[in-house]
Amino acid sequence: MRIAEFFERGREALGRVVVGNDEAIDGVLAALVLEGHVLLEGPPGTAKTLLARSLAHVTGLDFARIQFTPDLMPADLTGTMVFVPQEARFELRKGPVFASLVLADEINRTPPKTQAALLEAMEEGRVTIEGQTLDLLCSFVAGATENPIEFEGTYPLPEAQLDRFLFKLLLVYPDIEAEREILRRHQAGFRPRDLARMELPAVVDAGGALALQEEAAAVTVHEDVLGYAAEVAAWLRGSPDVIVGPSPRGSIALVMAARVMAAARAADYVTPDDLQALAPAVLRHRIVLSTDAELGGRDADAVVAGALSAVPVPR
């Protein structure tokens, strides 16, 4: 299977259950190809959890959902050693982080100690349990959700952890036509809790995912396009609206994601348009705005848009 076919099938399958957030669907499909982590942000009821569950359903990935709460402990994620009295030995009980696709629901509601355990899993692909280091599945992908309108009882995610997310995808309220379609589907019997009834088609298997990664790696990126990505990152670091700019991991992520999206349109090379289309999702969570920018009503997307308009586009 080619990446273009994977996206076509994935969009059709996920579109059966998620309406009106096409950019988020493309984002999770691209992240799956790259085995990248995704932060989903949106108000309650905008299908953040449903999107993650549906992705696991159509890919056959082992899925685990963790509801993050203020009393969640690292062992609740990673697992713990349990004493088996009949055999007079300790046995490892693995936690939900050992699934292939892990959804951290309301990730900003758990304290820093538990965040640190998730950070190790996201960055290193391994966890430490009582001094023992264990590798996670090779296809480990973390998804996380957060609610942008409730701040009581939340813990801001540290910049180091935000930088590990390939994308921050915004799920928004649907427009009138999309909401009508949602209501029609529910009127016809759709129930988000029972995805099995939807008979969603499988879009890729483990072997197919590896082939997709190889195809994406073969997409050409011209030296001028690489320079454009670097200059956008440098502009953001030097902007008076930004006190912390994107790291080199951010520009790497931008180029990698652009390769996938170029392949999704059946192209074998990346254009500046590919970078521009993906820049908000890749960079919005990797910059920290100055107080003046926030007081002036500018958000991260506006600052990223400023970088894209200010940096000359290679021809």
Lowest mean pLDDT among 193-207, 219-233, 284-298: 193-207
Stated as kind and residue range, the H or E segment containing 293 is helix 291-295
User: pLDDT by residue (tens digit) across 106-157?
Assistant: 888 888 888 888 888 888 888 888 777 888 876 667 788 887 766 566 777 8
Q: pLDDT over 90 for what percent of the chain?
A: 50
Residue 247: CB atoms within 10 A of its CB come to 15
Looking at residue 139, what is its pLDDT? 62
Joined tokens for residue 256: 């990698």
Q: How many CB atoms lie within 10 A of CB 153?
A: 10
pLDDT of residue 194: 82
pLDDT > 70: percent of the chain: 97
Residue-wise pLDDT for 17-66, tens only, equals 999 899 999 999 999 999 899 999 988 889 999 999 999 888 888 889 99
Find the length of the chain.
Answer: 315
Residue 185 in this model has a pLDDT that exceeds 80: yes
- What pLDDT score does 147 carry? 75
| Residue with the larger pLDDT of the pair 279 and 79 | 279
Both tokens of 238, joined, read 């030097």
pLDDT at 200: 83
Return the pLDDT at 62.
85
With a cut of 80, say whether residue 208 has pLDDT above it.
no
Distance (Å, rounded) from C-alpha 85 to C-alpha 64?
Answer: 29
- Domains located in the chain, CATH noted: 3-204 (3.40.50.300), 219-310 (1.10.8.80)
CB 27 within 8 A of CB 258: no
